[in-house]
Structure 1
């Protein structure tokens, strides 16, 4: 497409990317409303409305032919629609859980919802990017908003410490990412993902070796940036402190939506831009270390938020197992796993948000302090059971099918040793996940500290509806594997569109 034609196609592109445009406009509207009516009650519901409209629009494009927009910078339809639905769905669930929670911790600010919308827009751009510049813009739009949300409770030293670590390490990872983009452009002469393979081969034999060195050096640096964003070992150091210091409902959003967008973008890079399977062993080794270290460190945690932070590191390893397979089945399984992980992790953090009593966004609250709380709040105890069993990988919940979806392609690709480690790591995770239920239901309420006995633990109707909906979704995702066929079909369409064999 010529640049002049791109301008002519702008009105049609705006329509095709209506959810992205609508969310950006809703974020700007939230800023304007908040400027004139500080913390107005309509802001969160305006945000939810924009996200719901976007989800409905993208649902209609799930089976549409894959295409591109804005001078081929981003993808629309199929794969992009699925990722956008996951990200926007995470935004809806988070906002519904956050309204009452932020009021309770006295940080119900209108700009929180604007930042959530802008972060969502960045994630949508990142997850649908067809060009490295679009990847970078989406990545940084998402990251800047998440840095601010992590340090929302400014009077809490732990929140500021977590936000500072996240920001400094994130800026360092961004440097690697940008340098990787520069090297890839130097090696291929293009920043469009589908054109990179041809660009690498176009140098001829004289320049072939030097171009290849530049190319793989760029790939290595690009992977460092991606692995930081998905909290893979050894780029995970920021995760426990950032997750523990951020407001709990926002932690659920950070741990799911940002991972889904970053992994989706990584899938597109692996699928279109990287020739051969030279990177498969690297991803397999990173996946192995991430699964083992994430689960081992989670075993030692007394704080549930910190335990779920290390758990999220382990789950990044499970997704990497699917990517290491390097097959369409592995990529589609990873997409399905990201959907399941989003539902169960937002639900788990939602329960913990409703059970906070320490006045420090759960940063110092131990699991043992909630002894017998399941009897006081049965809804929270029962729904937490769904989330913990699903995170462990018990059938017939979505977590079981999700792990099967990423492990089976790895076995077919000859990575049986990696799958064995993944299964053992999942079995080990049962200890700390099921310990939560043990404390909730099998420890006497008499063991609760005095502040916990005085805590009312109110459960607003909206939050209760969200938790029940997440539990029901996990059951449906566990017994209806048709979504796996749908995610697999995305790659057939995108491959044909890019002219790949």
Structure 2
């Protein structure tokens, strides 16, 4: 196979699967189950994951005039996005069954969204990043309003679309200014152009606008205002997906842009990200303290975790990239696991919303309560979970770079977070069942959903108990970002063996 095919093999697989689902869905009778389409999407996701693992053993692959680079860094995030999509599909197979006649489109949208995210993580050309960002975003906008009978769902979709379009404009303006300052939109060429540019202020303004656009995608304060409302109104499996996979892809892009493209300006943008990290951690945790709705609480929690990941951006390049990659994987496992439990507890209509509604869940649904307790413990950062080692590596990297006060702010915020996580944990086991609590016995745990929950729980524990292998992958990803290929006009694409 030519490099142009090998480099985007996972994306090709998911695109073909998504198109097949869209073609097959109208051919099925209106009352027929759409589960076969979901299983097709699952097979496609497994195929994309295997293709990404195959790429890992090929070395660095450059394609499409060096606008695409497949290396350990991009493969790390390819595997992460594929894993998130797989768990999302498993917990969604029975979610729409009998409730939405158009559920087949949902499985196609998951595949298309994953295509956009994977394209973002392997792009070394900002315009290609923009294309991937739009493919991912448009799919997510639609999925947020997938429950057509829910006014809150339609509201969340519209809010996400309008604010997302506004943030995308900032991202595009940043690309245009980067071209004006350096003469290119290639990440490698931007890094070279910064050394000779006569307009360094324009280059820094370009980075600031790019940060605004990507800050929206990762829910970093002060670009987080959409997050609580969208998370509350969107379907629970969609929230689990959009709070992890797009955030992972956006952080991958941000790592490439900051450390590779604008590396010579690190002394300037590190200060800006220091402020964003501290603000996100503080706003997220203080906002979560005031929430009784569980989905809104986890929305503010996701803002805080975006701040924890941003702490790694202030560290030295080798430490910071590896820590950010590891924490992103840890966060994805525990966050999507928590929303997988919420999906099973609340069902399609999502009548169970507040902390009080989860009262006594440990007695009525012990398996689901045990899974949720594990994910909450990991979100707190208790030892032997992925959340603990993620925070340990991030704060250690910050201290190594002499950002001691930022690490202190992060530790204090982690202490604050214990309160609202433990409040839900106490409701699961210690508080008596009240008459006002919503019943939770009506939805049984299906086999696919159980497999998805088990995968998320296993990843959370493995990242906490045996983190060595995952950390090695993160360190390999960190090393590969330091060697972005220099663009050469009309250069033939090549595949090089490591």
- TM-score bin, normalised by smaller chain: over 0.9
User: Cα distance 1:414–1:64, how it changes in 2: closer, same or farther (>3 A)?
Assistant: farther
Structure 1 position 107, deviation (Å): 5.9
Structure-2 residue corresponding to 1:419: 407
Q: Does 1:491 align with 2:478?
A: yes
Structure 1 position 378, deviation (Å): 0.8
Secondary structure of the residue aligned to 1:75 is strand
Structure-1 residue corresponding to 2:318: 328
1:241-266 CA distance string (max 9 Å, x none): 11111110111000000100000010
Structure 1 position 371, deviation (Å): 1.2
Which structure 1 residue ranges, 5 or more long, are not aligned? 1-9
Structure-2 residue corresponding to 1:33: 24
Which moves more between the two structures, 322-331 or 338-347? Answer: 322-331
Q: Does 1:158 align with 2:152?
A: yes
Number of paired residues? 481
CA distance in 2, matches of 1:448, 1:49: 44
CA distance in 1, matches of 2:330, 2:187: 27
CA distance in 1, matches of 2:432, 2:101: 33
Structure-1 residue corresponding to 2:308: 318
Structure 1 position 492, deviation (Å): 2.4
Please say if residues 63 and 77 of structure 1, whose CA atoms lie closer than 8 Å, have aligned partners that are also in contact. Answer: no
Aligned 1:131-210 pairs, distance under 5 A: 131-203=125-197, 208=198
Structure-1 residue corresponding to 2:80: 86
Aligned 1:118-133 pairs, distance under 5 A: 118-133=112-127
Structure-2 residue corresponding to 1:5: none
Aligned 1:51-66 pairs, distance under 5 A: 51-62=45-56, 64-66=58-60
Structure-2 residue corresponding to 1:233: 221
After TM superposition, the score normalised by the length of structure 2 is: 0.93
Match of 1:291 among 281, 285, 294: 281
Please say if residues 7 and 62 of structure 2, whose CA atoms lie closer than 8 Å, have aligned partners that are also in contact. Answer: no
Please say if residues 65 and 493 of structure 1, whose CA atoms lie closer than 8 Å, have aligned partners that are also in contact. Answer: no
CA distance in 1, matches of 2:171, 2:142: 21
Please say if residues 333 and 456 of structure 2, whose CA atoms lie closer than 8 Å, have aligned partners that are also in contact. Answer: yes
Please say if residues 337 and 402 of structure 1, whose CA atoms lie closer than 8 Å, have aligned partners that are also in contact. Answer: yes
After TM superposition, the score normalised by the length of structure 1 is: 0.92
- RMSD value over aligned CA atoms? 1.8
Structure 1 position 174, deviation (Å): 1.0
Which moves more between the two structures, 269-278 or 416-425? Answer: 269-278
Structure-1 residue corresponding to 2:294: 304
1:275-303 CA distance string (max 9 Å, x none): 13210010010000100010001011111
CA distance in 2, matches of 1:484, 1:292: 27
CA distance in 2, matches of 1:43, 1:432: 39
Structure 1 position 131, deviation (Å): 0.4
Structure-2 residue corresponding to 1:6: none
Structure 1 position 41, deviation (Å): 2.8
1:90-136 CA distance string (max 9 Å, x none): 00000000111222644661000111111000000112210000110
CA distance in 2, matches of 1:60, 1:121: 17
1:302-330 CA distance string (max 9 Å, x none): 11111111100100000000012142111
1:311-368 CA distance string (max 9 Å, x none): 00100000000012142111111111111111111110011111116x6435x72110
Please say if residues 100 and 147 of structure 2, whose CA atoms lie closer than 8 Å, have aligned partners that are also in contact. Answer: no
Structure 1 position 181, deviation (Å): 0.5
Aligned 1:215-254 pairs, distance under 5 A: 215-254=203-242
Which moves more between the two structures, 424-433 or 85-94? Answer: 424-433
User: Cα distance 1:472–1:216, how it changes in 2: closer, same or farther (>3 A)?
Assistant: same
Structure-2 residue corresponding to 1:410: 398
Which moves more between the two structures, 455-464 or 229-238? Answer: 455-464
Please say if residues 76 and 128 of structure 1, whose CA atoms lie closer than 8 Å, have aligned partners that are also in contact. Answer: yes
Structure 1 position 62, deviation (Å): 3.0
Which moves more between the two structures, 148-157 or 31-40? Answer: 31-40
Please say if residues 359 and 437 of structure 2, whose CA atoms lie closer than 8 Å, have aligned partners that are also in contact. Answer: no
Structure 1 position 47, deviation (Å): 0.6
Match of 1:467 among 449, 453, 464: 453
CA distance in 1, matches of 2:107, 2:86: 11
User: Cα distance 1:160–1:103, how it changes in 2: closer, same or farther (>3 A)?
Assistant: same
Structure-1 residue corresponding to 2:36: 42
Which structure 2 residue ranges, 5 or more long, are not aligned? 487-498
Which moves more between the two structures, 60-69 or 155-164? Answer: 60-69
CA distance in 2, matches of 1:494, 1:452: 50
Secondary structure of the residue aligned to 1:68 is strand
Match of 1:457 among 438, 443, 453: 443
CA distance in 1, matches of 2:337, 2:206: 38
Structure 1 position 373, deviation (Å): 1.3
